[in-house]
Structure 1
């Protein structure tokens, strides 16, 4: 079977090459904005694919600086823009309406759709070079063998790449296709997985998966100093005045520290989810509406919210754990190994005893301690482990009884089995947009 994957590597361009890539990224953003204006400011309908393609060619001919962007990259912008409309028109795809891209708020990115132009070469164990249009040969960090590039590597090919600028610099995302055997069904045990803040991941086996702070003590102190410095600079700037270069440098330093924390968090999630996917045939998690859970509690002027600062801190902690990204990683890694990820109804998993399956007031004594108040049971243990075991029980009950209804009576709700990342065909929506 053919498996599509992406591999991210750090690029190390020199100053000239970095300036070329910056110019291409700004030109790509301008092409997006021009396309959006051309496609939407019409009478009663969106522009067709042919009309958008002709508009891009005319704009590249009339606007000289748009020539910094290679023609293939401009066509990739059109393809992504059309896909954004297809996702918006698709009722099963939670996508927002395409909008203009701001210079300061949008991520700088350039597509290299033709893999033959990359000419990837490995220099040594740690470094490789890649050919980028109009930038030349650029070094990148070699951390994983690319299919079809190195002898003895995985069978497959590189189909293209995308250049993305983050806070720490430029990255290259290789799009790859690897030929692998069809995975056989996983024969390992099943496990419930409870996501939290004090305990990031709690398994039904009783094991807790923890991590330390993403930044060291010195990095946290430096981040605090920079945030206070940016607050002083922002307060001293007149309203409506442009941001100074010093203030912008402060923001860049803050962004680099936060990007460092995110890279470490993603690395921990990758290692943890890979280990879980190897060990368990089915991983059961809660079907959480994370967006609703992290909604603001500020309220309105007429009806202001209560405990706003506490809720803001809770939302920040939930966002820092990235529960949705954990499930996303588990989903495709389990599918690669013949397993699955199932989501069950979360209602009452923290208050119900996993042994007697009764809900008694006061059983959840503290954040970490659960003591069943049922005289016939009396189980005492960790609250997160208890919740994880309830998730596994609900999955097993739903699989055995074929439960299809959702209710609050303690019966297991419907199970969402996710074997792989969903794919959406854009053809019907593209025809509707055209």
Structure 2
């Protein structure tokens, strides 16, 4: 491999010979292998290189033993309105698809429905769709990588909810014998979750943490959005809307942005499960509130 200029280089690949490519970023070390892939009608070449910044002579890249700011902690609440909100009150979000691309995708999907399977016209329409969705996926991946790099550089401990994204986005249509309920509503929620890239952000945080020494911890997500971060009172009426949280406990009245309040609860739950349900052993459901033995009622 050799560099041809500031923006261009070339690599000698097996069975292909010399291939010219656009040099988009510094490699940072000795090249060990190259992978050629195609996505959205474009060809890409990625290089596996040793990390000179964190590698001692003769050793592999290592994670720092301690973060540069060891006492910093951040809880992160992932949502469908805002991609990520931290316990420090920082909001991270961006649109991944433009209005014009949305309209274009809708027209292409209508054209795709009218084409014949296996036809050249169908392949052409799918190629146009893949080109647009490739740009959307690239923006989402860039957002997650940049956000993860910022959060891990700033915090020694990052706390996330242990969300089972695959189960949460499962189809709600059910079976012919037992059809699902509110299928259209669930379909919209699934699209919002996948669009915000919850799982991709988690993977990006774990990957970026290797370079800063950050620990990524996942905690029980039960009642983090209903619990008051000031007094600990839990009720579903605390969250008045998507953005407004107002504690209903007598003498409290704490008010905050609902996502920030949830992020603070996630931060407080670091190292242990959220204790709104009391003992979270194997014999107790995480969705069950503790019951008083004296009265047999759920305490308020």
1:128 aligns with 2:9: yes
Give the 4+ runs in structure 1 shifted more than 4 A.
Answer: 403-407
Q: How does 1:314-353 map to 2 (within 5 A)?
A: 314-353=189-228
Runs of 5+ in structure 1 lacking a partner?
Answer: 1-119, 147-153, 412-434
Counterparts of 1:288 and 1:392, CA distance in 2: 15
| Match of residue 244, structure 1, among 106, 119, 124 | 119
Corresponding residue of 1:26: none
Q: Encode CA deviations 1:188-227: one digit per residue, 9 max, x unaligned.
A: 5111000011011011011211212x22222222222111
1:199 aligns with 2:74: no
Q: Encode CA deviations 1:284-336: one digit per residue, 9 max, x unaligned.
A: 00011111111111011111111111111111111111211111111121231
How many residues matched? 272
Counterparts of 1:229 and 1:200, CA distance in 2: 32
Residues 360 and 374 in structure 1, CA contact (< 8 A), matched pair in contact too: no
How much does 1:360 deviate? Answer: 2.4
Counterparts of 1:343 and 1:379, CA distance in 2: 26
Q: Encode CA deviations 1:87-146: one digit per residue, 9 max, x unaligned.
A: xxxxxxxxxxxxxxxxxxxxxxxxxxxxxxxxx111111111111122121111212222
Counterparts of 2:140 and 2:41, CA distance in 1: 16
Residues 83 and 197 in structure 2, CA contact (< 8 A), matched pair in contact too: no
The structure in which a higher percent of residues are helix is 1
Residues 238 and 246 in structure 2, CA contact (< 8 A), matched pair in contact too: yes
TM score, norm. by length of structure 1 = 0.59
Runs of 5+ in structure 2 lacking a partner?
Answer: 56-61, 274-278, 291-300
Q: SS where residue 237 of structure 2 aligns?
A: coil
Residues 219 and 271 in structure 2, CA contact (< 8 A), matched pair in contact too: no
| Match of residue 288, structure 1, among 163, 166, 187 | 163
How much does 1:405 deviate? Answer: 5.4
1:226 aligns with 2:99: no
Q: How does 1:371-386 map to 2 (within 5 A)?
A: 371-386=246-261
Structure number with bigger Rg: 1
Change (3 A) 1:361 1:130: closer
| Match of residue 36, structure 2, among 141, 147, 163 | 163
Counterparts of 1:295 and 1:217, CA distance in 2: 27
How much does 1:389 deviate? Answer: 0.2
Residues 217 and 271 in structure 2, CA contact (< 8 A), matched pair in contact too: no
Residues 370 and 381 in structure 1, CA contact (< 8 A), matched pair in contact too: yes
Residues 205 and 385 in structure 1, CA contact (< 8 A), matched pair in contact too: yes
TM score, norm. by length of structure 2 = 0.85
How much does 1:176 deviate? Answer: 1.7
Change (3 A) 1:170 1:365: same
Counterparts of 2:211 and 2:5, CA distance in 1: 30
Counterparts of 1:302 and 1:405, CA distance in 2: 35
RMSD over aligned Cα atoms? 2.1
Residues 239 and 258 in structure 2, CA contact (< 8 A), matched pair in contact too: yes
